[in-house]
Amino acid sequence: MTPAELSSTVLHAVRRAVDAGELDVTVPARAVVAPPGPGGCGDYATNIALQLARPAGQPPYRVAEVLRPYLVGVDGVADVVLTGPGFLNISLGGAAPAALVEEILSAGTRYGHADAPDAPDAPDAPDNSVVRLHCPHDLRAVVVADAVARVLRCQGALVRVTAEGFDREWTAALGVRVDGVGPAPVSPPVTVRPVPAPADPLPLGRDAARWALLHPAAHDRPRIGDEHLAQREGNPLFRVRYAHARSRALTRNAADLGFTAEPGPVPDAPQELLAALGDHPRVLAAAAAHRAPDRIARHLVAVADAALPFLPTVLPRGGEKPSAAHRARLALAEAAGTVLAGGLTLLGIDAPDHL
């Protein structure tokens, strides 16, 4: 069961409880599922009981008790444990990792994207349907606005970016664009005003400069230095791109050995990696909602750090023959690389196959 399917399953459980007269609430449009927090357990957790407690007129823990039986009997759900004030911690069956990997590989770098309009910048779109981003004449502000626009569009929003000033060299050097230059539009825009960079990032080049400006939260001052160019583990950007390149190299090496990826059970799969991959759609949605592309950058570091120790275990060793286990591990490695490539693309950063 994929995270999206699990979210639908949770909503279906709420609907069944309402139909049975055990809850008197309006079924929400969305249920958030995410890796369990401190004190949690299982594969995923949801706070749906806390969300419904007030409209239901019951304590959150009681709402969770009502919902638990409607989840436990569902195919793909192995167990549901209640923790804290009413969190539902859900353990999935053994096929869950394979389903997740299959979903990622099927969607490609669009994994986690919502349905987007055909023309995201359509000039004739209704005025109230367009998210308007406006930023000062500041390079970091323009880069952050550009990344926010990319993330919003991947979630199906129509976006228009304006700036009080814009230097043409920024497009050539960093790939940013704006839809208009001048004062803020009449309709109230979302102002993008991060802490400015302390130095000119252009000498770093497009990828390192964008990472230096986007990885820190908007309220943090970015560091502009050669550390972003270093080809070593201490550089988060290098780890992310290296993990992606290694996943692509594994695919090439596997082809030389005569086998390809096939999603399946991976008994020794790192749970941290599976949780990070499954959390990717939620991270994209949160980054869009909070106008915070730094959330994606930090998430990519978490995916890379979980993937790197796993990647050396993918290919057969010595005289081993390629097996179903190797094909499943390769599929998981490819899924990790796909998530890293998709996230880097949203940040406007290249994901090279060779590094």
pLDDT in tens, 161-192: 999 988 888 998 999 989 888 887 777 789 99
Count other C-beta atoms under 10 Å from residue 132's C-beta.
Answer: 20
pLDDT of residue 124: 44
**Tokens standing for 13?**
């459980």
Output the pTM of the full model: 0.77
DSSP type of residue 1: -
Residue 55's Cβ-side half-sphere holds a number of Cα atoms within 13 Å equal to: 13
Angstrom CA distances, 113 to 102, 170, 195, 218, 284, stand at: 16, 27, 28, 23, 8
Q: Residue 243's Cα: distance from chain center in Å?
A: 16
- The structure tokens listed for 73 are 């009997």
- Give which of 64, 29, 34 is closest to 46, Cα–Cα: 34
Predicted confidence (pLDDT) at residue 150 exceeds the cutoff of 80: yes
Collect contacts of 310-318 with beta carbons under 8 A, ≥24 apart. 310/269, 310/270, 310/273, 310/336, 311/243, 311/246, 311/247, 311/250, 311/336, 313/268, 314/250, 314/254, 315/250, 315/253, 315/254, 315/257, 316/257
Q: How far is residue 286's CA from residue 289's CA, in Å, rounded to a whole number? A: 5
Q: What is the CA radius of gyration of the chain?
A: 22
Residue type, 7: S
CB–CB of 260/254 below 8 Å?
A: yes
- pLDDT, average across residues 194-199: 96
What are the pLDDT digits (tens) for 116-133? 444 344 444 445 579 999
Q: Per residue in 24-66, pLDDT tens? A: 999 998 898 888 878 888 778 999 999 999 999 999 999 999 9
Q: Which CA distances in Å does 154 have to 59, 84, 151, 321?
A: 37, 34, 5, 41
pLDDT in tens, 243-286: 999 999 999 999 999 999 999 988 778 878 988 898 898 899 98
C-alpha closest to that of 256 among 330, 332, 187: 330
143: its two tokens: 């880069």
258 burial type by CB count under 10 A (0-12 exposed, 13-18 middle, 19+ buried): exposed
- Average pLDDT across the chain, whole number: 90
